Amino acid sequence: MTRELTDLTAAWAALEKADAIVKGAISALRAASEGGRRLDDHQLLAYDLAHCAAGLATARTALAYGAAGDVEARLAAVFTADAVADIVARSLGREADWGTRAGWQDAISEFLAAGRSPAALAGLAETPGDRRLDGDFELVQESFRRFAEDQIEPVAEKIHRGNGDIPEKLLRGLAAMGGFGLSVPEEYGGFASGGENDYLAMVVATEELSRASLGAGGALITRPEILTRALLKGGTEEQKRELLGPIAAGDKMVAVAVTEPDFGSDVANLTATATPAAGGYLLNGVKTWCTFAARAEILMLLARSDPDRSKGHRGLSLFVVDKPPADSKGFLLRQEEGAGRPAGLGSGSLEGRPIDTLGYRGMHSYELAFDNWWVPEANLVGGEAGRGQGFYLQMAGFENGRLQTAARALGVMQAAYEAALDYARHRKVFGEAIVDYELTRVKLGRMASMIQASRQFAYEVASMMARGEGSMEASMVKAYTCRAAEWVTREAMQIHGGMGYAEEFKVSRLFVDARVLSIFEGADETLCLKVIARRLVEQAAG
């Protein structure tokens, strides 16, 4: 093995060279976009730089991990070489936009050749590397992996292929493990101690659940977490006492209702309304992509409480909407006067229409139509002080939701890698097991490096967020890892050949599940253009 892949000196030099190129291009973007005011006039460059910056941040974490040993160093060096090569490819022929000169990579070409060589990649095919977790987190990983293997995997394929519901037994089992209370503080009946470990525990647990199933496992603990963090950010003490305990115990299942048919990431223009009426609010409007909305007893709803549309996101408030569990195939719930609804308001309704999807099945997604559905004043998150604060409160939940989406991507990637490696070891073509062919081994080696580097970056972001930092990095880890999951699952399916296209092999499920990861919790393009690129430009301003 070449020196460049063991002592990491050349890898660090290549990363710093690439980092300087990206920072220079960000400065060029800032100037071209008039300080960021006209960033949308340069979307391609902004998008590329966001992904390049995310790749380099991942590589930096990977190289720190690489100091732990030779295997770790090789994984980190191979990943770094690929991340830097991606920057070379994106900037080639676009030197004027990037503010670079052709051939800037010549000084690091020896490292790139070593790190991207067939021998370097193939040598990692069956070497995924150690996670380097301490004992407490190894216990978390082992506990959730055992639950996932024993409880989720036996039903995952049935749920996916039949578009079925998540069994109540599974929900109860996850609740008994404390899976719904990982982000709920101990004082409110949960398991969060308030230290740096809380975020990392969520990442570890989410990955293991997603390794068994994205729709029937990994996504389950993210729904309640989004509302939990919003309540902790701005809920009243009474709301925290009333809601967090039942959420942690799994007695109240949660769904999130933010997106609308015409407005996804463009939250400032949401149109659903909350109008004061009879000691509460009447809710009207349509929400879409509300995952788990039928089974949930609580909806976290973002609605316009100020009729002045010019106020944008400052006119939005967050509400807790109570409802009974309903039929997953579609439902129509009615509120009548005298049954918890004040007199003089007439009747109200909440209708849910399921949205069939090609993957991510089990929790089901819905379009919800609110027609004069009434909620009491006590359901306005934060009380009167929370009026107009809904956008900021829901963002407190969604920022960590992006980190958890990266963790879900890790689980899906890990399952795909393991399935591909197992199949490659047993499948023979032209008299040899396909794991012995160079191309197969190169693919597996690249998978291993991408997964471990992404995992280590997710761990780092978890630590940052526990310190109240890492908002941009949470978007970065989601952007990079979710795109990586698409590639890993695609290649895992390809290694299976025709069998990868058969539903009897779970890799086909992993492939279609991975596709949603770059769409929900902030679409990839929106994250890159509106969050990552903008913040990079702001940082370039000093």
> Which sequence spans correspond to the domains of the chain?
3-116, 135-249, 254-385, 414-522
Q: Spelled out in words, what is the top-level CATH class assigned to the domain 135-249?
A: mainly alpha
Q: Does the annotation count 521 as an active-site position?
A: yes
Residue 101: strand, helix, or coil: coil
Other Cβ atoms within 10 Å of 130 Cβ, number:
12
Q: What is the largest distance, in Å, between two alpha-carbon atoms of the chain? A: 80
- Write out the DSSP string of 178-246: TGGGTTSBGGGTSSB-SSTHHHHHHHHHHHHHHHH-IIIIITTTHHHHHHHHHHHHH--HHHHHHHHHH
User: CA-CA distance, 339 to 277, in Å (whole number)?
Assistant: 16
| Per-residue DSSP letter, 368 | E
User: CA-CA distance, 401 to 232, in Å (whole number)?
Assistant: 15
- For the entire predicted model, the pTM comes to 0.94
From 75, 37, 76, 74, select the one nearest 56 (Cα to Cα): 76
Angle (CA) 226 229 230, round 5°: 85
Indicate the helix (H) or strand (E) that contains 452: helix 438-466
Angle (CA) 197 201 202, round 5°: 125
- Digit-by-digit pLDDT tens for the chain (542 residues) are 456 577 899 999 999 999 999 999 999 999 999 888 899 999 999 999 999 999 999 999 999 999 999 999 999 999 999 999 999 999 999 999 999 998 999 999 999 999 999 999 999 999 999 999 998 899 999 999 999 999 999 999 999 999 999 999 999 999 999 999 999 999 999 988 877 788 999 999 999 999 999 999 988 888 888 899 999 999 999 999 999 999 999 999 999 999 998 776 666 678 899 999 999 999 999 999 999 999 999 999 999 998 887 787 889 999 999 999 999 999 999 999 887 899 999 999 999 999 999 999 999 999 999 999 999 999 999 999 999 999 999 888 787 889 999 999 999 999 999 999 999 999 999 999 999 999 999 999 999 999 999 999 999 999 999 898 998 999 999 999 999 999 999 999 999 999 999 988 999 999 999 999 999 878 899 999 999 999 999 998 87
Catalytic residue among 418, 521, 525, 538: 521
Q: Tell me whether strands 331-335 and 316-322 are parallel, antiparallel or unpaired.
A: unpaired
Q: 């679409």: which residue's tokens? A: 523
Question: Under CATH, what is the fold of the domain 414-522?
Answer: Butyryl-CoA Dehydrogenase, subunit A; domain 3 (1.20.140)
At 367, give phi and psi (nearest 5°).
-100, 125
User: CA-CA distance, 6 to 52, in Å (whole number)?
Assistant: 24
| Per-residue DSSP letter, 41 | G
Domains 135-249 and 254-385 share a fold: no
Which tokens is 280 given?
Answer: 């509460």
Question: Under CATH, what is the fold of the domain 254-385?
Answer: Butyryl-CoA Dehydrogenase, subunit A; domain 2 (2.40.110)
